[in-house]
Amino acid sequence: MTTLTVFFCGTGSNKFDDSHANYWNGELISTLAANNKGKEFAEWVILDGPGSGNLQSDELWVKSGDYSQLRGQLVGSGWKENVQHAINIIKGHVDWQREKLTQENYEQLKKAGVPIQDVEVTGSFWWRKYDYGDRKVTQQALQQQIIKTFRKGQVLPTQVNLVGWSRGGISCHMLANAMLADPLLTTIPVNIFAIDPVPGMGNFQTEKVTLGRNVKEYVAFYARDERSKGFSCVVPDTNNATAMHIYPMSGRHATLVGNASANGNSGEKVLHEPGMIVRHFAEVCLQRWGVSLDKTLNLDGLQLLELHQANQRNAGQFAQMQKTVYTVSENDQGERYVSLGSTGKPFSSVQGARFSPASGLASDYLTNQAIYNVLK
pLDDT band of residue 113 (cuts 50, 70, 90) is low
Helix, strand, coil tally for the chain in percent (to 5): 30, 20, 50
Between 247 and 66, name the one with better pLDDT.
247
pLDDT digits (tens, 9 = 90+) for 307-341: 999 999 999 999 999 999 999 999 999 999 999 99
Q: What is the b/e burial string over 247-271, where b = at least 16 CB atoms within 10 angstroms of the residue's CB? A: bbbbbbbbbbbbbbbbbbbeeeeeb
Q: Dump strand ranges (E) for the chain.
A: 3-8, 44-47, 120-122, 129-131, 159-165, 190-195, 215-223, 233-235, 243-249, 337-340, 343-346
pLDDT surpassing 80 at residue 131: no
Residue ranges of domains in the chain, CATH in brackets? 3-97+154-375 (3.40.50)
SS (H, E, C) 176-241: HHHHHHCCCCCCCCEEEEEECCCCCCCCCCHHHHECCCCEEEEEEEEECCCCECCCCEEECECCCC
Residue 75 sits at φ, ψ, to 5 deg, of -125, 0
**Threshold 0.85, pTM exceeds:** yes
pLDDT digits (tens, 9 = 90+) for 217-258: 999 999 999 999 999 999 999 999 999 999 999 999 999 999
Looking at the chain, the whole-number percentage of residues with pLDDT higher than 70 is 89
pLDDT band of residue 76 (cuts 50, 70, 90) is confident
Q: Please tell me what DSSP assigns to residue 251.
A: S
